[in-house]
Structure 1
Amino acid sequence: MRLDVILRVISKLLLPFMLVFALYVQFHGDYGPGGGFQAGVIVAAAVILYAIMFGLDAALEAVPVRVVEIMVPLGVLIYAGVGVASLLLGANFLDYDVLGHDHHHAQELGVMLVEIGVLVSVSGTMLAIFYAFAGRGR
């Protein structure tokens, strides 16, 4: 792929838009289709496109394996942390009503935190799978 200048330039221009679209899907998930899972896959797809166009070593430099290994349990920890915070505040597990000053804001905050946890975990898992398969021939 080193000689495909047009593909490399288009990919370099497309990557920021992919990441911004992932953020849009993440934060628009409350109002329409989308959320943490879809945004996590889009983030992972952006890194995979980067790896395909610029090489696995460049992708590993941008998002190292150690970061990916931390992302998977971190997402689960964020998700579970919201539930534990609800428990510590005297409500049921993942009962968002105690997380804010009123019902609407508490529900919005709880769902957003859970969806961020899903984004982190899904993108980390997808990248871990890609790195495992892409690095097999090395």
Structure 2
Amino acid sequence: MSESVVLRTIGGMLFPYILVYALYVQMHGEIGPGGGFQAGVLVASAFILHAFLYGKAATDRLLPRWLVDLTMCLGILLYIGVGIVGLVQGSYFLDYSVLDPAHPAHAEALGITLVEAGVGLTVASVILTMVRKVNGELE
């Protein structure tokens, strides 16, 4: 935990902006640089910054371990779920066109957005879990 008032104040002010920027990177990943991996790293770095500034207990209250585990599973399920929809519809894995057969361009944008959301959730959760493990906070 940082004892510096300046660091805690500036870091506390940066925390929500880092999360908003991560959302921007996530949502614009299909049309430009960015996407799920980069957004996941940004989200994880925001919570790591929070832990450095305010301590483990404060960060655990804000983002408990069970929630990190849940988002990790949800991210993986979202990615796999989008892929399995294609298989269930008689097509191939991650065939986005089955999401909206009448509008293939819309289906592709929807599929990429959902897959990137799954990647972002998983990456953020895995990084946070690795940091907790390195820190000796997991069994």
1:73 is the counterpart of 2:73: yes
Root-mean-square deviation (Å):
1.2
Amino acid across the alignment from 1:74: L
Structure 1 runs not aligned, ≥5 long: none
Partner Cα distance (1:30, 1:122) in 2? 17
Partner Cα distance (2:11, 2:89) in 1? 47
1:110 is the counterpart of 2:111: yes
Q: Which residue of 1 aligns with 2:32?
A: 32
Partner Cα distance (2:21, 2:27) in 1? 10
Q: Which residue of 1 aligns with 2:64?
A: 64
4+ long deviations beyond 3 Å: none
Normalised by the length of structure 1, the TM-score is 0.93
Sequence identity (%): 46
Structure 2 runs not aligned, ≥5 long: none
Greater Cα shift, 2-11 or 35-44: 2-11
Amino acid across the alignment from 1:16: P
CA deviations 1:27-50 (Å, max 9, x no partner) are: 111111100000000000000000
Superposed displacement of residue 90, structure 1 = 2.8
Partner Cα distance (2:93, 2:75) in 1? 17
Say how many residue pairs are matched: 136
